[in-house]
A and B are shown apart, each in its own frame.
Chain A
């Protein structure tokens, strides 16, 4: 029973947006970040940002706005995580390290591990291009780079992923 999909004030634009796109955006953020709680935070923040604007009809294409926000927030979240990891105190054996494994089912997935081994920009490019199935021009717009750069990213990413997954096969 998916009670959480029903808005108590009746279905409105925002509820429709949530029902239609939340899950897909959550999965997109999971592929970027490799971590479900972090992805939930990112997607929730994107929806909060779009919430007021949708009600005031200030956004022409809320889905594009949401997708762009998820891409941007995932990037800054990843940066924050890397900085935090750099400055973090050494993990205790049964405290912080256990935390990292809380979502081990996902982390154990071979392709998720492979994705984490390639540079973040290449990861963004292949996920948006091949999983989200967006045209190269849209991927380029979302990433703020040229179509040629996207082609370069995806080509290098496929080569590296072939290598990583080939080795682990």
Chain B
């Protein structure tokens, strides 16, 4: 933990230091990419591209915030290792991590801070409640924003050209959850939400879908995103005898809630959205979570072509498991940088139109945006908690699944074998070295491709 913290401290310090000295201007187009291969790297202008990242790094959701940041850090390190060139200049990406404390007020404060720091783009925020007010500031400043985890539909419905997300929104998720509840044979449900933009949003959508499916909503109760005691509301719910309790909120509340349900002798099933679909939920809820269901937007990592590889990289780098949104945040960074490459510019105004046209084959699937900035398709996968692990049940709806299916089948097997090989080699230093060599090679290849792409565009 201490090691991890010092890494954080270092990266923060580094970001600050870079922020202070990294105010280089956009290179003149005159520094032409005429002969990129011939020019010595020392002569090339190096520009620092600052990407803001905002998530709660303190408070009850700090573990999720750290997870998001790790996703972004991983993406940025890989990009820097590739040594990208955009607009003829060598690009060095810098992450400006901010702590929004999952608080809408603080979210706007750090958003303003990022705008003032003239970041080239923003990844985040984590929560819908912070993302929505912050998106106005980014929109006013013309800074593209891609959230990997804000799922409240409002975020992209405000008409901001700068707002994007790479995760299915709550309308899609709540709807699928409602249908799933009906499929499970629930006749009556109780709904609890944590009054956050996310929790309330997904609970409302769930209610609509559940009622449409003929399920009776027998109780509606509320808590908050800092609570640990739910016995009072659960006792009340118990008296209405629902078949299922739906919780719109995060794992830090969901886990204890499931446990307290058990303490009170409530037999109803527990169902939740992506906020409780985490290892943390099972750790906190213990045996009470066994056999309960939750949903995640997208397709499970291990079912995706690049999923196992990403998981392996992540575990190796940070020594912790992926909590939740890290792959999405990773993809958000990649999509943003991909747009910069296609626009051949890191200037927000110039590459923004390219973001909407993205068709990026990322870890979480092929990412394409619709006209408002929501990810197209948007499959929802159901999971069951079993023996301390999330067990994949099924994927409901979404064109995303179809889009990645072929790719997954084609490369899935080879990726899987590669991943196992890498995992086996985990402790073997010699093999590790070869792997690093391979990575460098890969990076070089990707870099070459990028240059080729840029040239072709010209």
- Asked whether A and B interact, the reply is no
* B positions within 8 Å CB-CB of A: none
